[in-house]
Structure 1
Amino acid sequence: MSACPAEGEWKTISKKKGIKKRRENVRNIPHREAEVLSVAEGERIQQKIKEAVEELRSSEFWTDCLETIQRVANTYCTAPLAPPLSPFLGGEGPESLEYKKDNIDHCQNTLDLVCYGIGNFASSVTSRYQLALLFLLQETLQISQDGCLLFDPLFTEWEKRFLKDCGMVVLKENEEGKRPINKPTLFYMIHCGKALYNNLLWKNWSPQKLAQTILIGNSFKGMEERLPARVLQRVYKYINHILAITEEAAFPSSSRYMDVFNDTSIHQFPRRKLDAKPTEFWEGAAEPTYQECEDLEIIQKGMEWFSVS
C-alpha cells in the first residue's frame, strides 16, 4: 500500500504558516474534544501513522538526517544496548528492527526526549510526518517510552490516549517551554513559536544545563536573518545571546517534505564555548514576559480553555 497521501490531503496548512492561527483554533477545541472517533477511524489514523514511519524510514531524507543525528547523539552515548522499539511499531527487541544496523551506532539510553507543539496528528498530514520522525528518533536513540514526553495544548483526547497507549508520557500542564533539565535531553520542537525556544533557553540558562541540551527546531540562524536585530535583542534576548555559542546543523533539503521539516536544524551548545563566557553573562537571567509582543505565536498557560490530562 502506498504511504503517499491521497490527492488533496497535502492542502493542510503547514505548521510554520499555521502558528498564527493557534490562538484562534483554541476556540474550536471544545467541539473537537466532544467528537468521538469510531474504532474504524482510529485504526485508519494509526495505519496512516505507521505508513508515514515506514516511508520516512526508507527515504533518502532520513538517511541523510541519520548522519547528523548519530554524530550529535554519540556525544552522550556509552555502551551499546538493544534499542527498545515502541510497541506501536510492532517490535519488542532488536530482531524486529527493520533498519540497517550498520548505519546506527547503538548507544546506552542516556537521553530524554521532550516534544512540544507537534499539533493534531490525527487530522494534519504535516503533524503526522513529524510524529513519524519522533518515533524514528526514539527508536534510533534508544529512548525508553517513559523517557519520551509530549505536550501540545491542541491535542485531542484521542491523540493523548494514543500517545499514552504507545507508552509515552503526555504532560498535564502547559510548561510554555520552561522545563529545567538535569540530564542530557533532546527537545523536539518543529515549527514552534520563537517564545517557546526563548523560554527553554531562559529556564536552562547555565553552562551545565545548556551543555546537556540538544534542540531540533526552527533554525536560530534563520531567526537572526529574518528578525530585525532590535526585536531579537529586546523580545527574544536569550536566543540572541546564545547565537554566537550555538553549533547548528540544518536538516537536509527535501521537496517531498518541504512543509514538514523546512527551516529545521539540530542545535547544540558546546561546553567549551559556554565556559568561555564570563560569569556575568549567566547572572541575573530575568524571566521573559512578552508584554510588548503583539504576535507571540504560542498558546500561553491558562489560554487552553480545557483540561489537559
Structure 2
Amino acid sequence: MSADGEWKTVSKKKGMKKRRGDVKERNIAQGVENLSVSEGGRIQRKIKETIEELRSSEFWSVCRETVQKVTNKYRTVPLVTSSGLDVGVAEFVEYKHGDLDHCQTTLEFVCYGIGSFSSSVSSRYQLALLFLLLETLKIPRLSCLLFDPLFTEWEKRFLKDCGLVVIKENEEGKRQVDRPTLFYMIHCGKALYNNLLWKNWSPHQLAQTILIGNSFKGIEERLPARVLKRDYMFINYILAVTEETAFPYSDRYMDIFNDTAIHQFPRRKLDSKPKEFWEGAAEPTYQQCEDLEIILNG
C-alpha cells in the first residue's frame, strides 16, 4: 500500500490438502473468474483490512520474532538503488523499521495451497501473513512464487499486479531448490510435503530448505506408524533430523494457523546420516492412500 492508502501495482492437487469448505470455495470461485470493478475493489479492501488487523495482533508480534530468528542466517548486504531505496522491495505494506530493516534476504519464497482468497476468509488471512512475511524478511516480490489449483483468473491477475509470480502448472510440490528457499504451505496435504522432500533428497538441498506448514511431529502423532512409513516415507525418514519451531497459539486465529510450524533441516544433522540413507530415493506413489488430500496435475 502506498502512502496515500491506495493499492500499489508493481509494473513491469498432487498438490494440496482438501481444506474444510473447499467444495464450497470451488463453487463460489467459479463465479468470480471475472469480477466487476466494484467487487474487485471490495475484495482488495478486505485484504488490506486483514493485513492491518493481523499486523496489530499479538499473534503476528510473536510470529514475526520467531520467523526472524530462524531466517536471520540468510541476511545479506542490502541492495540499494541510486535513490537509496532497497531494490525489489514493494510498497504493498508499510515498512516497520528495526535492526535488520536495511538487510536484504537471499531467500526465495514459494507458496503452495493458499486457496481462493477472494472467497475464503481463511485463505485471505494466510495471504495477509504472506505479505507480512515478505515485508519483514525483505524478500523481493519477484522472488515469491505461488500456485493453487483453486486460483481464479481474477486472483492470478491480482497476484501478478502485486508483483508476485504465479506458477503456471501444478508442480505437485516437486520443486527442486537451487538456493535457500522458504516454502509456505499451510494446511497442505501430506503428499505435497512428502513430494517436496523427495525432490530435494540430499544434504545440500535440504539444508537450503525452510518449510512453514503442518507440524511434522503432529503428523507423526496422528498417523498410524505403518501408514506413515508406507505412504509418506520421506516425512518419516526426515523426522529424526528436523528442527521444528511451532507457531504461537492464538484463539483468534486457531482455525487458520493451528498446527503450523517452521521446519529446518540443519546440515550437521543431515551429514550425520550414512550415504545409504540418501541413495535410491524413488519417486513417491500413493496408490494405497485412501485419503490423499491432494489435487492431481491434469
Q: Do these two structures clear the TM 0.5 threshold for a shared fold by scoring above it?
A: yes
Match of 1:307 in 2: none
Over aligned residues, Cα RMSD in angstroms?
2.1
Mapping of residues 155-174 of structure 1, within 5 Å: 155-174=151-170
Q: Counterparts of 1:128-277 in structure 2 under 5 Å?
A: 128-277=124-273
d(CA) in 2 for partners of 1:238, 1:146: 30
- The alignment's TM-score, normalised by the length of structure 1, stands at 0.84
Q: How does 1:86-101 map to 2 (within 5 A)?
A: 86-89=90-93, 97=95, 99=96, 101=97
Matched, 1:109 2:109: no
Q: 1:40 to 1:34 in 2, by over 3 A?
A: closer
Contact 2:142 2:163 in 1 (8 A): yes
* Structure 2: gaps spanning 5 or more residues: 1-15, 80-85
Write the distance in 2 (CA, Å) between the matches of 1:175 and 1:27. Answer: 20
Q: Retained in 1: the 8 A contact 2:110–2:144?
A: yes
Tell me which amino acid in the other structure corresponds to 2:248: P
Question: Offset at 1:25?
Answer: 6.6
d(CA) in 1 for partners of 2:25, 2:247: 30
The letter for the 2-side match of 1:48 is K
CA distance in structure 1 between the partners assigned to 2:123 and 2:292 by the alignment: 21
Instruction: Tell me the CA shift for residue 36 of structure 1.
Output: 2.5
Distance, in Å, in 1 between the alignment partners of 2:269 and 2:102 is 28
> Following the alignment from structure 1 to structure 2, what is the Cα–Cα distance between the partners of residues 40 and 261?
30
Q: Aligned-pair distance for 1:88?
A: 3.5
Which 4+ stretches in 1 moved above 4 angstroms? 24-29, 103-106
For residues 201 and 299 of structure 1, the distance between their equivalents in structure 2, rounded to whole angstroms, comes to 18
Q: Mean alpha-carbon deviation: is it higher for 222-231 or for 60-69?
A: 60-69
* Distance verdict in 2 for CA 1:235–1:113, change over 3 Å: same
Kindly indicate whether structure 1 or structure 2 has the higher relative contact order, using CA contacts under 8 Å at least 6 residues apart: 2
1:19 matched to which residue of 2?
19
Q: Give the TM-score normalised by structure 2.
A: 0.87
Deviation track 1:258-277 (CA, whole Å, cap 9, x = no partner) reads 11100000000000000000
Amino acid at match of 1:210: L
Give the count of matched residue pairs: 277
C-alpha distance 206-106 of structure 1, shift in aligned 2 (>3 A): farther
Q: Structure 1 unaligned runs (5+)?
A: 1-15, 90-95, 303-309
1:80: Cα distance to partner? Answer: 4.2
Q: Percent identity?
A: 71
Matched residue type, 1:32: Q
SS of aligned partner of 1:248: strand
Alignment partner of 1:143: what SS? coil
Secondary structure of residue in 2 paired with 1:196? helix
Shift of 1:103: 6.3
1:222 & 1:44 partners in 2: Cα distance?
A: 37
